[in-house]
Amino acid sequence: MWYRLFKHVLLGPLLRLLGRPDIEGLHHVPDNGPVIIAANHLAFIDSLYLALVLPRRVTFLAKMEYFTGTGLKGRCTRWFYTVAGQVPVDRTGGSAAADALAAATRILESGGVWAIHPEGTRSPDGRIYRGRTGTLRVAIATGAPVIPVVLSGTDRVNPRGSRRWRFAKVRVSFGAPRYYGAADDHHPRAATDELMRDLAARAGRPYVDRYAATFAHDRTQVRSA
């Protein structure tokens, strides 16, 4: 109930007003059954726009810290992420990656929609960066189709470093589904690289064969030197 209330009443109308989203290729998303939404990552609100434009309920994996905060702010954060369909995952332990993949697999085995940003963090400059292989590992193991999604304009609505949202045109483009059956000879690393290069080509943005988190860290080190 809360998910629909946020989407259609509390938050959705504001997102539509700010971004006036232009949606392309939504017919590629199946009406039922497991599906993986793999999108580039420009801003915090990327997940909100994905949930807004997809007719099916979408589930994301969120870091455990969002659910363990204390005080009024911690309780409000936990409540928001829970009703927004986020699943908490501990990403600090040695088995964190395996736990996250297991959680994603459970979402798909129940016939749900799992959305993820393979880059793992927001792009520091709008370019498309190397993806983590977890998305394709889950796709290969479950046989769920992967829908590549290109987001644009969300970084103008929600600029990095700013808490204010602004008016800007948002575009969400869904590509044709990709299938990676376990019986086929797919290597997660190669398949991930192909997916990210395809996202870059469709977005009209350069592809960087480095992890975004590593690039951002190196750039910060240079500036502080």
SS3 assignment for 111-149 = CCEEEECCCCCCCCCCCEECCCCHHHHHHHHHCCCEEEE
Per-residue pLDDT at 220 exceeds 50: no
Average pLDDT over residues 111-118: 95
Per-residue pLDDT at 140 exceeds 90: yes
Average pLDDT over residues 77-92: 70
| N residues, the chain | 225
Give the model's confidence band at 222: pLDDT under 50 very low, under 70 low, under 90 confident, else very high. Answer: very low
> What pLDDT score does 221 carry?
43
pTM for the complete prediction? 0.89
Average pLDDT over residues 200-214: 94
Average pLDDT over residues 184-202: 91
Q: Comparing C-alpha atoms, which of 64, 66, 36 is closest to residue 195?
A: 36
Per-residue pLDDT at 5 exceeds 80: yes
Look at 52-61, 157-166, 177-186 and tell me which has the smallest mean pLDDT: 177-186
Mean pLDDT of the chain: 87
| 30 vs 174: CA distance, rounded Å | 12
Per-residue pLDDT at 165 exceeds 50: yes
Per-residue pLDDT at 22 exceeds 60: yes
